[in-house]
Amino acid sequence: MQGLTAALLVWTLMSPQGHGREAWPTHTACRDESLQILYQSCDPLQDFGFSVDQCPKQLKPNLNIRFGIILREGIEELFLDVALFSKGLSILNFSYPICEVDLPKFSFCGRRKGEQIYYAGPVNNPGFEIPEGEYQVLLELYNQDHSTVACANATILCF
Ligand SMILES: *[C@@H]1O[C@H](CO)[C@@H](O)[C@H](O)[C@H]1NC(C)=O
Ligand SMILES: *[C@@H]1O[C@H](CO)[C@@H](O)[C@H](O)[C@H]1NC(C)=O
C-alpha cells in the first residue's frame, strides 16, 4: 500500500494543472473481505493520494492512514466537511476541525500554498461497526478562507 500511495503521489505531482472536464480516476483507499472504500477527487484542478492501512468493518478508534497532496492553499486552519448518503438519502453531516490556530493537531498544519504534504500515521476517529450496505460520501477540506484544499466523493461498500 505504501508503494502504491507513493506512486500515486508522484503521478499527481506530474499531472498537468487544469485537467479539463475529464473525471479523475477512481482509487481504492482500502479493500478487505467485508469492506471496500473507493474515492475520486472532485477538485477539477488536482487529484490526491489517500489510503487506509487496514480496512476492517469494525472500525478501530485509531486508524492508520496515508495522505499525499500538493497544497493549492495555505492551511493555517483546515476543516473537513463530511456528508454521508445511503440510497440517495442524506444520513449524516458533520464538520471536523483538523488544524486550528490554537490547536494544530498534525505536523502539516500551517503549511503554505504550493507545499507538498505526505502524512502517514494515525487519525483519531470514533470506533464503530459499519452496517452492511452501500454508502456515498462527499468530503471537502477547506481552509480559513473557505477555499477548497481537497474534495472527494467516495463509495463505501460493506458486505
Ligand atoms: C463520484 O461521483 C461521480 C458522479 O456522481 C460518480 O459517477 C462516481 O461513481 C463517484 N465515485 C465514487 C468513487 O464514488
Ligand atoms: C446535510 O446537508 C445537506 C446540504 O446542506 C442537507 O440537504 C441535508 O438535509 C443535511 N442532512 C442532515 C442529515 O442533516
Domain with 121 in it: what CATH number?
2.60.40.770
Residue 8 lies in a domain: no
Query: What's the predicted TM-score (pTM) here?
Result: 0.85
pLDDT tops 80 at residue 45:
yes
Given this model, what pLDDT does residue 7 score?
54
pLDDT tops 50 at residue 55:
yes
Q: Provide the CA 20 distance to its chain's centre, in angstroms.
A: 22
Residue 111 lies in a domain: yes
User: Which three-class secondary structure string do you get for the chain?
Assistant: CHHHHHHHHHHHHHCCCCCCCCCCCCEEEEECCCEEEEEEECCCCCCCEEEECCCCCEECCEEEEEEEEECCCCCCCEEEEEEEEECCEEEEEEEEEEEECCEECCCCCCCCCCCEEEEEEEEECCCEECCCEEEEEEEEEEECCCCEEEEEEEEEEEC
Ligand nearest to the CA of 157: 1
Q: For residue 26, what is its C-alpha cell?
A: 477512481
Q: How far is the CA of 80 from the centre of ligand 1 (A)?
A: 19
Res. 1 pLDDT band, cuts 50 70 90: very low
Residue in 41, 82, 153 to alter for ligand 1 test, most ligand atoms within 8 A of Cβ: 153
Residue 19 lies in a domain: no
Q: What average pLDDT does this structure show over 18-37?
A: 85
Q: How far is the CA of 44 from the centre of ligand 1 (A)?
A: 14
Residue 17 lies in a domain: no
pLDDT digits (tens, 9 = 90+) for 62-114: 889 999 999 999 999 999 999 999 999 999 999 999 999 998 889 999 999 99
Ligand nearest to the CA of 83: 2
Residue 9 lies in a domain: no
Which numbered atom of ligand 2 lies nearest the CA of 91?
13
pLDDT digits (tens, 9 = 90+) for 131-155: 999 999 999 999 999 999 999 999 9
Given this model, what pLDDT does residue 125 score?
79
Residue 12 lies in a domain: no
Output phi, psi for 5, to 5 deg: -65, -40
Given this model, what pLDDT does residue 51 score?
96
Note down the domain range covering 52.
24-158
- Give how many domains the chain has, as a whole number: 1
The percent of residues above 90 in pLDDT, for the chain, comes to 69
Give the best-scoring range by mean pLDDT among 9-13, 20-24, 112-116: 112-116
Residue 39 lies in a domain: yes
Residue 49 lies in a domain: yes
pLDDT tops 90 at residue 121:
yes
